[in-house]
C-alpha cells in the first residue's frame, strides 16, 4: 500500500512482484511517491501558446527512450509501469507524465490540459499552454491515444459534466463507461489504469492508429507554396469507401491544420478551415440529410455525433446548409446538383473574405453518378490541389471519377488503405447523431435545457400554417407517392427539414393564392390544400425539380412534428431552432417543411425519441423493469 493510504492497482502489484522475484538484494522495494492531495489545477481556457519546437520536428524525431507502456491485448491497451506516472489530483482530475513515444488511451469525456512538453491527439499537435481541450471518447468508436512528442510531457485530465454523457437511453449500452472499469468517480477512464478491456465482450475496444497517416498529415498541413510571402494552403478532396476512416481522416486533417498555426509566422497563419461536406448520410458537423459549408475554427476531438451543431449556434459557423435527405445514385436529380453548385459558389465568395484558409471537401459515393460534363465544372470550381482516397485499390471506383481531372491539373493523389474505426452499425450511429442534435444543439444555443429529459417531453413551438399571419408557406414530401389526403398522417410524428424561403423577384408562394394562379407561376408544382388546410406542394411530373431554387432558400435545421391542431391551424414542432426569434416577416421570408421519404433501415424516423420516453418511464418505475432493447 502506498504512503498516501490508497490501494495499489493490480498492474502495480504485479510489477512489484516481478521486481521482487528478479532482485538479488534483500532490501525492500521503496514505496512510490505519495500522490498530491488537494492541489486540483484547472487551466483557464485560452489560445495555445507558441512552442520552441516545430510540429513536424517533434513528431518525426526518433524514439530514444524505452516505452514503459506494454500491450495488453490486440486493442493496444496500456499498462502504467508505476503509480508515479498517474497521480490523482483532488476528486476530479488526474496528472499523467509520459516520455517520448509513450501513449495513454482514454474512454469517456475529459478536459485535456497540456502542462509540459508536446503531445499528439486526434491528429492535432498540442503544446504546453493554458488552453484546455474537451476530448470525447465513446466506446462505440475507436479510442484516441495521447502520445508524447517530446522527451517529457505532462498533462492533466479533468472530469467534465457534459450533457452528451447524460442523454436518455435509446438502446445503445456502455457508450461512455467500460464494463470492467474501476470506480473512480471520474467522467473518463484511462485504459490500463482505471479499466481493462474485456476479452469476452462482443464489442472489443479499439484504438485509433495514425502511424500510416502521419506522413500524409504532415504533408497536407503545410502550405503548398509562398506567393508574395503569403502561404497558399491546400484544397483537399477526400473520397473513398463507406466506413473506411473518412470521417476520422477529416477530423485529423482539420485538427492538424488548426493546431499547426501556433508555430507559424504571420504569413502562414490560418483563419480557420473551410469544410465543404457533401456527405448526407452522416455529416461531420451538420445534422443528417444535409450538405453544408462550414467555417471550422475549433478542433474536433470526438466522433461526429459529439460536435453536431445547428446552423444558428456555436461552436462552428455553418455558413449554409441544404437538405437533400437520404438518397443514393438512382435518386440523383438536377436539384441535388444545383445545391452542390450553390455551396461551391458560396465557398468562393467566402474564400475572398476569409483570406488564406485551407479547404477540405468530402465527396461521397453519390457524386460518382453525376455526368462527366457537370462533374468537370464542379472540379474546376472546387480546384483541389490534393486528393486523399481511402481505398488503396489501383482501380478504385471512388477515384475514377476524379483521376482524369487530377492528372490534367497536376493534383496530387494520395491513396490509403481503409481502416474501420466504428464499433456501431450505421443506423444506430445515425440515431446517436440525431439524438445529439436535438438535445445538445439546443443547449448550445439557448444555454438551457436538461439533456436527461426525453425530447418528446419538451415544450414545442407552435407555428401557423394558414391565414394572413401564417409562418409556414408550404409542405414538401420527398420521394414516394403519398396521396394528398394522407398528408396529415404522414406529417404528424415525423422529422422534417425547416427551410427559410426567400421571396422571389416575382410574387412569392402564399397559401392564399388559388391553385390555378400558383401552378402558372411554378411550372411543375401545384400548391394544394388538404382537408385540414395543410399547404402541400405536389410535383406535377415525376421529373419535377425541387420547388425552391438553391440561391433563394436555405435549410436551418431539423424539427419534429408532434401535433397538428386543425382547429387553430397550427403545427407544434420540437426543434433546436429558436424559430420564434427568426423574425421572418422583417426579411420577407417564410418557412417550408420538407419531409424525407421512408427508408428501409428507419433513418429519419422517430423511434429513438419513443425509446427515450420508454426508458424514462422505466426509470420512474424503478429497477424492477428490465430494458427490452438490444
What are 393-410's pLDDT values in tens digits? 989 999 999 999 999 999
Region 521-525 average pLDDT: 61
| Helix boundaries (H) for 480-592 | 487-491, 515-521, 584-587
Same domain? 124 vs 222: no
Region 507-511 average pLDDT: 42
Same domain? 587 vs 460: yes
503 pLDDT more than 90: no
- Cis amide leading into 315 (omega within 30): yes
35 pLDDT more than 50: no
Q: Answer whether residue 594 is part of any domain.
A: yes
Region 111-134 average pLDDT: 94
DSSP 508: P
- Name, in order, each residue with C-beta under 8 angstroms of 626's C-beta and a sequence gap of 6 or more: none
- Residue in 127, 165, 166, 123 with CA at minimum distance from that of residue 144: 123
Q: Answer whether residue 437 is part of any domain.
A: no
Same domain? 282 vs 151: no
Lookup: cell for 511? 397559401
pLDDT at position 581 is 60
Assess contact for 299 and 261: CB atoms under 8 A.
no
626 pLDDT more than 70: no
Same domain? 139 vs 245: no
Q: Answer whether residue 391 is part of any domain.
A: yes
Assess contact for 571 and 564: CB atoms under 8 A.
yes
Q: Answer whether residue 442 is part of any domain.
A: no
Same domain? 104 vs 178: yes
576 pLDDT more than 80: no
Region 504-519 average pLDDT: 43
Same domain? 348 vs 490: no
**What phi, psi does 469 have (nearest 5°)?**
-105, 30
Where residue 182 falls (left for φ over 0; alpha for ψ -120 to 50; beta otherwise) is: beta
- Cα–Cα distance measured from residue 233 to residue 335, given in angstroms and rounded to the nearest whole number: 31
pLDDT at position 260 is 67
What are 328-357's pLDDT values in tens digits? 788 888 999 999 999 999 998 887 777 778
Same domain? 453 vs 408: no
Q: Answer whether residue 27 is part of any domain.
A: yes
Of 373, 390, 415, at which residue does a domain stop?
A: 415
Region 376-390 average pLDDT: 95
pLDDT at position 59 is 45
Q: Answer whether residue 466 is part of any domain.
A: yes
Same domain? 27 vs 142: yes
Q: Answer whether residue 432 is part of any domain.
A: no
Same domain? 501 vs 556: yes
Secondary structure (3-state) at 525: strand
Assess contact for 590 and 547: CB atoms under 8 A.
no
Segments forming the whole domain that contains residue 21: 10-190
Same domain? 256 vs 346: yes
pTM here is 0.80
With bands split at pLDDT 50, 70 and 90, how would you rate the model's confidence at 602?
A: confident
CA-derived radius of gyration, the chain: 27
Which residues are registered as beta bridge partners of 439? none
Q: Answer whether residue 435 is part of any domain.
A: no
Secondary structure (3-state) at 383: coil
With bands split at pLDDT 50, 70 and 90, how would you rate the model's confidence at 487?
A: very high
Q: Rounded mean pLDDT of the chain?
A: 77
What CATH code is carried by the domain that includes residue 356?
Answer: 3.40.50.300
pLDDT at position 419 is 79
What are 52-63's pLDDT values in tens digits? 344 444 444 433
Tally of domains within the chain = 3
- Cα–Cα distance measured from residue 449 to residue 315, given in angstroms and rounded to the nearest whole number: 18
End-to-end CA distance of the chain: 42
Of 393, 415, 437, at which residue does a domain stop?
A: 415
- Cα–Cα distance measured from residue 186 to residue 189, given in angstroms and rounded to the nearest whole number: 7
Of 374, 397, 415, at which residue does a domain stop?
A: 415
What are 278-319's pLDDT values in tens digits? 999 889 999 999 999 999 988 999 999 988 776 555 566 889
Same domain? 403 vs 275: yes
491 pLDDT more than 90: yes
What CATH code is carried by the domain that includes residue 30?
Answer: 2.60.120.1030
pLDDT at position 225 is 56
Region 552-579 average pLDDT: 89
Angle at 243 between CA 237 and CA 248, to 5 degrees: 55
Region 167-184 average pLDDT: 76
- Cα–Cα distance measured from residue 123 to residue 255, given in angstroms and rounded to the nearest whole number: 6
- Cα–Cα distance measured from residue 606 to residue 484, given in angstroms and rounded to the nearest whole number: 22
19 pLDDT more than 70: no
Same domain? 118 vs 217: no
Assess contact for 593 and 476: CB atoms under 8 A.
yes
pLDDT at position 548 is 92
- Cα–Cα distance measured from residue 12 to residue 192, given in angstroms and rounded to the nearest whole number: 11
Amino acid at each position: 500500500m502506498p504512503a498516501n493510504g490508497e490501494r495499489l492497482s493490480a498492474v502495480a502489484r504485479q510489477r512489484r512482484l516481478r521486481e521482487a522475484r528478479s532482485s538479488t538484494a534483500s532490501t525492500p522495494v521503496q514505496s512510490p511517491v505519495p500522490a498530491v492531495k488537494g492541489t486540483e489545477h484547472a487551466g483557464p481556457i485560452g489560445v495555445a501558446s507558441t512552442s520552441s519546437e516545430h510540429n513536424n520536428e517533434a513528431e518525426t524525431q526518433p524514439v530514444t527512450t524505452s516505452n514503459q507502456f506494454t500491450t495488453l491485448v490486440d486493442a493496444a491497451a496500456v499498462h502504467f509501469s508505476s503509480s508515479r506516472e498517474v497521480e490523482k489530483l483532488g476528486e476530479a482530475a488526474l496528472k499523467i507524465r509520459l516520455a517520448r513515444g509513450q501513449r495513454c488511451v482514454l474512454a469517456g469525456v475529459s478536459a485535456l490540459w497540456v502542462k509540459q512538453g508536446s503531445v499528439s491527439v486526434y491528429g492535432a499537435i498540442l503544446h504546453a499552454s493554458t488552453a484546455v481541450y474537451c476530448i470525447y471518447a465513446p466506446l462505440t468508436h475507436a479510442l484516441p491515444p495521447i502520445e508524447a512528442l517530446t522527451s517529457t510531457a505532462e498533462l492533466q485530465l479533468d472530469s467534465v459534466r457534459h450533457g452528451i454523457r447524460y442523454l436518455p437511453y435509446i438502446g445503445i449500452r456502455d457508450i461512455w463507461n467500460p464494463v470492467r472499469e474501476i470506480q473512480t468517480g471520474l467522467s473518463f477512464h484511462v485504459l490500463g489504469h482505471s479499466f481493462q478491456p474485456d476479452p469476452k465482450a462482443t464489442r472489443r475496444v479499439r484504438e485509433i492508429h495514425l502511424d500510416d497517416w502521419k506522413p500524409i498529415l504532415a504533408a497536407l498541413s503545410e502550405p503548398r507554396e509562398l506567393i508574395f510571402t503569403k502561404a497558399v494552403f491546400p484544397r483537399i478532396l477526400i473520397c473513398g469507401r463507406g466506413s473506411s476512416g473518412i470521417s476520422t481522416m477529416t477530423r485529423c486533417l482539420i485538427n492538424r491544420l488548426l493546431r499547426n498555426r501556433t508555430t507559424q509566422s504571420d504569413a502562414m497563419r490560418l483563419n480557420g478551415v473551410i469544410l465543404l461536406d457533401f456527405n448526407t448520410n452522416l455529416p461531420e458537423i451538420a445534422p443528417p440529410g444535409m450538405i453544408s459549408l462550414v467555417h471550422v475554427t475549433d478542433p474536433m476531438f470526438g466522433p461526429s455525433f459529439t460536435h453536431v451543431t445547428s446552423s444558428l449556434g456555436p461552436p462552428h459557423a455553418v455558413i449554409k446548409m441544404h437538405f437533400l435527405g437520404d438518397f443514393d445514385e438512382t435518386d440523383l436529380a438536377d436539384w441535388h446538383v444545383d445545391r452542390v453548385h450553390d455551396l461551391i459558389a458560396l465557398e468562393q465568395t467566402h474564400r475572398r473574405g476569409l483570406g488564406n484558409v485551407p479547404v477540405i471537401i468530402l465527396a461521397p459515393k453519390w457524386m460518382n453518378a453525376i455526368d462527366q460534363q457537370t462533374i468537370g465544372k464542379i472540379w474546376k470550381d472546387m480546384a483541389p490541389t490534393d486528393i486523399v482516397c481511402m481505398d488503396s485499390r489501383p482501380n478504385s471506383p471512388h477515384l475514377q471519377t476524379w483521376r482524369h481531372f487530377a492528372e490534367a491539373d497536376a493534383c496530387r493523389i494520395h491513396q490509403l488503405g481503409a481502416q474501420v474505426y466504428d464499433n456501431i452499425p450505421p443506423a444506430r450511429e445515425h440515431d446517436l447523431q440525431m439524438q445529439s442534435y436535438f438535445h445538445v444543439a439546443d443547449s448550445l444555443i439557448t444555454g438551457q435545457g436538461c439533456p436527461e429529459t426525453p425530447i418528446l417531453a419538451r415544450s414545442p413551438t407552435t407555428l401557423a400554417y394558414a391565414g394572413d399571419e401564417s409562418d409556414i408557406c408550404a409542405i414538401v414530401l420527398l420521394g414516394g407517392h403519398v396521396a394528398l389526403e394522407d398528408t396529415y398522417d404522414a406529417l404528424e410524428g415525423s422529422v422534417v427539414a425547416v427551410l427559410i424561403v426567400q421571396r422571389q423577384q416575382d410574387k412569392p408562394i402564399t397559401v392564399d393564392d388559388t391553385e390555378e394562379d400558383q401552378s402558372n407561376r411554378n411550372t411543375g408544382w401545384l400548391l394544394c390544400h388538404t382537408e385540414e388546410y395543410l399547404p402541400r406542394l405536389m410535383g406535377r411530373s415525376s421529373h419535377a425539380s425541387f420547388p425552391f431554387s438553391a440561391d433563394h432558400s436555405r435549410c436551418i435545421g431539423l424539427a419534429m412534428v408532434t401535433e397538428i391542431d386543425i382547429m387553430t391551424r397550427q403545427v407544434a414542432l420540437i426543434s433546436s431552432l429558436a424559430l420564434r426569434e427568426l423574425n421572418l416577416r422583417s426579411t420577407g421570408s417564410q418557412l417550408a417543411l420538407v419531409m424525407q421519404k421512408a427508408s428501409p433501415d428507419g433513418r429519419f424516423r422517430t423511434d429513438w425519441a419513443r425509446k427515450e420516453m420508454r426508458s424514462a418511464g422505466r426509470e420512474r418505475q424503478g429497477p424492477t423493469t428490465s430494458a427490452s432493447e438490444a
